[in-house]
Amino acid sequence: MHRYADTIKHVLKDWPLAGLAVEPTPIYRLARLSSKLGREVFALREDMTGFGLGGNKVRKLDYLIGDALSKGTEVLITTSASSFSRNAAVAAKACGLELHVLLNGEPAEHNSLSRSFFEQFETKLHYVASNTPEGLARAQEELAANLHSSGRIVYEMPPGGSTEIGTLGYVHVFEQIARYTESTSTHFDNIVLATGSAGTQAGLAIGQCISGYPTRVIGIAISRPTEVQHKRVLQVALSTADSLGVPFDESTVLIDDRFLGEGYPIPSQESIEGVRLFAHTEGMLLDPVYGGKAAAWLIHAARVGELKENENTLFIHTGGNGGLFY
């Protein structure tokens, strides 16, 4: 049998990890959903990464904080109240680091549960009155400069963590998928996931290219139309592949925006139905902004024959906390 996974392991061997995620996360067949859709569907439970709030952001933080610690970092900075920054709050505490998060607007404008979560982990929140991305960027630059001038070693992370380093988390996950195929002889013809900040899809596509595993990695857009998201994923994938010193096949970047709805963070009727079907058939909790939109695509593709009867499809549950923090 082809050893897809070993090629990925060799490429990643020198990149430091913080050791946050519990591995491997489960992969298993969704029997009742498969019966309902008439297609073979499996799930990769990335909501069960076993750290913080779980989900795909833990994978990115594993490499980002591993890199930060290797550089002697004391302080982390990121922006936005998101699943990334909330997991970063937990990771910072666990790794003995200080986290600063910059947020647009006033405290009262933010979800109270989210604010309480940050407080529990002693995250330093900075509210920026400008309410524009440019204003937030200026405030981050000023904060980083002030911390540097006080002698602190600072590591900055973008919202979502989709840098060349953070993206390695899903190159690593593709190794796990490949090992599952090698140990069970279950080949996945399609790998389906929600795509937002781009690093998750870019990492999987790079893993596919490194290993030569024949599949389609299909990103279901949750915030941007196809042409914009395609450019974003491709940019992240190319820069990450370059940092790894591996070739990248641009044709592996596949995006579908038919279930985008009104964009982020607004659920669509189809995503709500997708959440309901996964809950009713498998007792699996998806959120309507990320996983729900990917589920909506899966349901539609099965019904109209875009997924073939003889194919196995892997649905990646990227986490999302059931929409609690929106």
51 and 101 co-located in one domain: no
**Longest Cα–Cα distance in the chain:** 62
β-pair type (254-256, 27-29) = unpaired
Q: What pLDDT score was predicted for residue 320?
A: 77
Cα separation, 191 vs 294, whole angstroms: 11
Nearest to 90 by CA among 68, 67, 65, 113: 65
| Per-residue pLDDT reduced to its tens digit, 226-242 | 999 999 999 999 999 99
Helix, strand, coil abundance in the chain, percent, nearest 5: 50, 15, 35
Q: Which domain holds residue 272?
A: 4-55+164-323
Cα separation, 81 vs 206, whole angstroms: 28
27 and 98 co-located in one domain: no
pTM: predicted TM-score of the whole model, two decimal places: 0.95
66 and 135 co-located in one domain: yes
- Tell which of 156, 174, 202 closes a domain: 156
Q: What pLDDT score was predicted for residue 326?
A: 57
64 and 212 co-located in one domain: no
* Tally of structural domains, the chain: 2
204 and 316 co-located in one domain: yes
Q: What pLDDT score was predicted for residue 14?
A: 95
65 and 213 co-located in one domain: no
Q: Which residues touch 202 (CB under 8 Å, ≥6 apart)?
A: 162, 167, 170, 233, 234, 236, 237, 240, 253
183 and 60 co-located in one domain: no
- Tell which of 130, 156, 182 closes a domain: 156
196 and 286 co-located in one domain: yes
Q: For the chain, list residues with pLDDT below 70.
A: 1-2, 321-326
For residue 291, the domain's CATH number is 3.40.50.1100
45 and 64 co-located in one domain: no
Cα separation, 200 vs 98, whole angstroms: 25
Cα separation, 145 vs 163, whole angstroms: 21
183 and 49 co-located in one domain: yes
Nearest to 194 by CA among 288, 127, 306, 299: 288
**3 state SS of 186:** coil
41 and 83 co-located in one domain: no
175 and 47 co-located in one domain: yes
Cα separation, 96 vs 89, whole angstroms: 11
Cα separation, 277 vs 285, whole angstroms: 10
Q: What pLDDT score was predicted for residue 263?
A: 85
Alpha-helix residue ranges (DSSP H) falling in 150-290: 168-184, 199-211, 226-244, 269-282
- Tell which of 156, 176, 194 closes a domain: 156
**281: its two tokens:** 């058939």
Cα separation, 208 vs 190, whole angstroms: 12
238, amino acid identity: L
